[in-house]
Structure 1
């Protein structure tokens, strides 16, 4: 079924009505007498859960509408020939001339483990699907490189300056300190399977099947690595870098600032405000919160001193729900609310973290290991690195 703007408007209207009901019940629960409190608490929790579902549904519908409007890629003759030969290989296992077409299409060099590079159009589609599926790709910077690794020089400051008159001498100033940072890379794989009968069916969309199957597997594994990975044969995730309570000017580069909640296994709306204002103004433009659905449900109950709710639903097309005026990226790989948990992230993730993809996804067709299924062992090299440790802040719940 095609997604239309009116479908999203209907969900937004339902979300608005649910939010109004939630506020009334939650306010009544806060002020209610003991006899009513248990029943009201149950109603508040149900409305809170429904708001989460409607908010997620609105976001998904907007993604589908955006995907439906995405323009198709234009290709040259060599790319078309490579694509045709590749899908023949997928369906029938026919490899005649595929290696030569792959080279002509300017794909990456051959892999020692064999297999063939997917056509460039499919590789780009796969990255687009990964961006839709992965919370980390949705908010972080991304770069595609043609080499196995990626390094970058960063300026740590230290260049001197001063005021002088028109004819005053200009003494030598200090030299800025440079540091080299490197992406932690690893090879991620998926192994989707289909029967040969389905592959022989002319109505079976091989391109859509391989891209969606692989994107889902990749998104689950890499999303966790971009957040929690230890850097051993995989990306080093944001929360695997060092944490310190010191401010930006006193903290070592590559170490994130943590804000302690002050309450064991709990946090308040004031803690979220502290998180925002620990972030320099230049980073707050484009910043978002990141947390799990359950943590967001807790934050929906917070109010300011005037009784206004800190969480507000996004009711217009393309307008996300906000917390203290900032967007929220729901990520179920984030730690839940618990003692000594890093339960909330806030910051400008595009400036803070870079996802690096090696150009080219490779597929090895295996019709023998698990008959009657044909396996498609699919690999891609990807990595991640912390770019700017001042751009992201961590709310750590006290132990």
Structure 2
């Protein structure tokens, strides 16, 4: 049954009811006598979990509704369609006749004769889209596609001179701006999903959908962690793998990220969240959001300001996400959990802070021999990441 706007409104109404009950129980828990606290704490945790489930369900319904409204792709060339049909035959039967030539025409590029076959453009884009849906980092960070194996970017650090002059005064030459080169840390990610030849022979078995789901799940899990925590060795260098420093933007070295300490080992409060927000320059705040693990979000929902108002607010309209102090929240379970010295929360404009670099083309090598009677599809893709603006994100470290 197609998703309708009224379905989202019903879920939003249920979220409001659950949040009102959650607040009542949580408030009572603080005021309760010791004998009641245990029972109330359990009820609060149950309601908190229900809020998480409902919030995720509302977001999923909104994505499904947006997909139904999105117009279908048009204008697929004959070469791309022929490439897609030939590739499907390669997947099902291992037939390679003419696939190299069709691949070159469809992609308009040269190919490595020993590197497997390039996934058709339409299927490759679907894999990227599925990874975006599964990966919190792809949802919030900038993403580009390149045709080379490496990528470099020049960043202007400022320093160009300027000044005031009279109408008839000479214009002296301005200073040269300071430029820095940022290089994407690249790596090759692979997956090897297996299918039986019997299933591949079944005309009702959707081999494209199967490959999309199998590969995107594997890729999203591995690369999502790398974009956040990767050390840069044969993989992207993640945001939290960069140097953290307590110094402000004006004096901190380019490429290092400012972290703010909570003042309490393994804990934080609403004032720490405000320090994160206002530690970021005003120009970056538009489009900024929090990032944290689900267990941290669980804790955040119980926080109040000095007037007793909750800092977390549910999104009660279609298209309106839940918010923390007025900013959206990206839930990412690759983030460190609440613990002493953990970098448990980030706040920033991730589109400006970090860029994901995809090399065009996912490649597949069909292997019917290694794991008989299964057929393996050794799938590879080159991907990287780069910190493009270290001033656009702040990290909260739970330490003294």
- State the match for 2:30 in structure 1: 30
The alpha carbon displacement at 1:307 in A equals 1.1
Residues 220-253 of structure 1: per-residue CA shift (max 9 Å, x gap): 0000000000000000000001100111101111
- State the match for 1:207 in structure 2: 208
The alpha carbon displacement at 1:113 in A equals 4.4
The alpha carbon displacement at 1:111 in A equals 3.2
Normalization by structure 2: what TM-score?
Answer: 0.97
- State the match for 2:126 in structure 1: 125
Q: Is the 8 A contact 2:285 2:348 kept in 1?
A: yes
Q: Is the 8 A contact 2:151 2:183 kept in 1?
A: yes
- State the match for 1:103 in structure 2: 104
Q: Is the 8 A contact 1:230 1:237 kept in 2?
A: yes
Moved more, 58-67 or 276-285: 58-67
Structure 2 unmatched ranges of 5 or more: none
- State the match for 2:165 in structure 1: 164
Residues 274-296 of structure 1: per-residue CA shift (max 9 Å, x gap): 00000011110000100011100
- 1: CA distance, partners of 2:384 / 2:282: 29
Where in structure 2 are the equivalents of 1:32-51 lying within 5 Å? Answer: 32-51=32-51
- State the match for 2:62 in structure 1: 62
- 1: CA distance, partners of 2:175 / 2:103: 51
Residues 304-361 of structure 1: per-residue CA shift (max 9 Å, x gap): 1111100000111111100000000000000000011000010000000000000000
Q: Is 2:192 aligned against 1:191? A: yes
Q: Is the 8 A contact 2:260 2:397 kept in 1?
A: yes
- State the match for 1:390 in structure 2: 391
- State the match for 1:244 in structure 2: 245
- State the match for 1:234 in structure 2: 235
- 1: CA distance, partners of 2:219 / 2:14: 33
Q: How many residue pairs align between the two structures?
A: 399
Note closer, same or farther for the CA distance 1:108–1:130 as it changes in structure 2 (3 Å cut): farther
RMSD: 1.3
- 1: CA distance, partners of 2:229 / 2:112: 28
- 2: CA distance, partners of 1:172 / 1:32: 72
The alpha carbon displacement at 1:371 in A equals 1.3
Residues 33-88 of structure 1: per-residue CA shift (max 9 Å, x gap): 22211111111111111111111111122222323333333311111111110001
- 2: CA distance, partners of 1:194 / 1:316: 43
Q: Is the 8 A contact 1:242 1:256 kept in 2?
A: yes
Q: Is the 8 A contact 1:363 1:378 kept in 2?
A: yes
Q: Is the 8 A contact 1:108 1:359 kept in 2?
A: no
- State the match for 1:149 in structure 2: 150
The alpha carbon displacement at 1:303 in A equals 0.8
Q: Is the 8 A contact 2:55 2:322 kept in 1?
A: yes
- State the match for 2:20 in structure 1: 20
The alpha carbon displacement at 1:156 in A equals 0.7
- 2: CA distance, partners of 1:216 / 1:146: 24
Q: Is the 8 A contact 1:262 1:397 kept in 2?
A: yes
Normalization by structure 1: what TM-score?
Answer: 0.97
Q: Is the 8 A contact 1:108 1:146 kept in 2?
A: no
